[in-house]
Amino acid sequence: MIENQKIRPAKVIGPLGEPLTLESLPPPETTRWVVRRKAEVVAAVNGGLLTVDEVCERYGLTVEEFAGWQRAIDRSGMPGLRVTRIQHYKSLYERQQKY
């Protein structure tokens, strides 16, 4: 998103193809981060609905934590966000980088 851009989209396309608005994003008090919710927040940032700083403030995340979600989606799609599979996808990605 252009840094000085004041106009934001009213909605963006979510990870499952549904429209996302500020109202349809996970609530700010969310503590249980399932794959779909993480993917929705990443899609909102990628689409320009929110900035990284706004997401971190709204959800109490660190920039590193959010960047980890973005990397996981870039590398492995939504399945890469599964907490139980992080090590599997990390080692798979590292093996792919060797070849």
With vertex at residue 92, the alpha carbon angle to CA 44 and CA 61, rounded to the nearest 5 degrees, is: 30
Domain count across the chain:
1
Which tens digits make up the pLDDT trace of 51-90? 999 999 999 999 999 999 999 999 888 988 887 655 665 6
Question: Residue 21 domain-assigned?
Answer: no
Look at residue 14 and tell me if it is in a domain: no
Report yes or no on whether pTM surpasses 0.85.
Answer: no
d(CA 43, CA 48): 8
Nearest to 69 by CA among 2, 12, 15, 10: 15
Show the domain range for 61: 33-82
**Per-residue pLDDT, 1:** 47
Quote the percentage of the chain above a pLDDT of 90. 67
Cβ(25)–Cβ(39) under 8 Å?
A: no
* Residue 50 included in any domain: yes
Return the SS3 of 18.
coil
**Comparing C-alpha atoms, which of 84, 48, 47, 46 is closest to residue 66?**
46
Q: Does residue 62 form part of some domain? A: yes
